[in-house]
Amino acid sequence: MKFYEFIENLQKLNPNKVIMIKTGAFFNSIGRDAIILEYILGLKRSCFAKGLCKVGFPVKYFKNNLKEIEKKLKDKNLGIIVYDEIENGRYKFKEKSYDIILELNGDTITETRKNTDCNKCKNNLYQKETNTYTIKQENYEKLAKKVEEFLENIKEILNIKK
């Protein structure tokens, strides 16, 4: 099981709440939850995997600003569950265990899109990779053409016939 599948399982257990989970030095949400939190908290959306949005913020920021974040979520009446890595937590992923560190009840926000159109997303890492590949390919083609021209010039200088 991949980590995003683990998160999706937690989302299925709590379909009426937004799920955030600690991943390394960040608390992140994916898919529909990412789109909701982008709107509610103004977080910057990016790619978790191809076709899967994410938002998040550093653990340190979360801990230092918990009261402010909690207030924004309560003001919007958003149901949310935040999971952290905890020894002997109820939810296991590989060698780690997770459990709830914050749970707020609230309304269910209907967001039917699992993701938005990745090609229109300004933070689409996969589109940027494609563009980088295209640039590298174009540079390679230009270089190959220059090498070909160079070899033709050498042939003329040395008077080599085909």
Which range, of 15-19, 45-49, 125-129, averages the lowest pLDDT? 125-129
H or E stretch including 40? helix 31-41
Q: What proportion of the chain, given as a percentage, has pLDDT over 90?
A: 8
Residue 101, pLDDT > 70, answer yes
> Where does the pLDDT of residue 146 fall: very low under 50, low under 70, confident under 90, or very high at 90 and above?
confident
Q: What is the pLDDT of residues 124-135, one digit of tens each?
A: 554 444 444 444
Q: Residues in the chain, how many?
A: 162
Average pLDDT, the chain: 78
pTM: 0.66
- Say what the pLDDT of residue 102 is: 86
Secondary-structure class of domain 3-115 per CATH: alpha beta
Alpha-carbon gap, residue 20 to 85, rounded angstroms: 12
CA distance 20 to 34: 9
Compute the average pLDDT of residues 54-71.
87
Pairing of strands 91-93, 96-104: antiparallel
What is the distance, to the nearest Å, from the Cα of residue 159 to the centroid of all Cα atoms in its chain?
A: 58
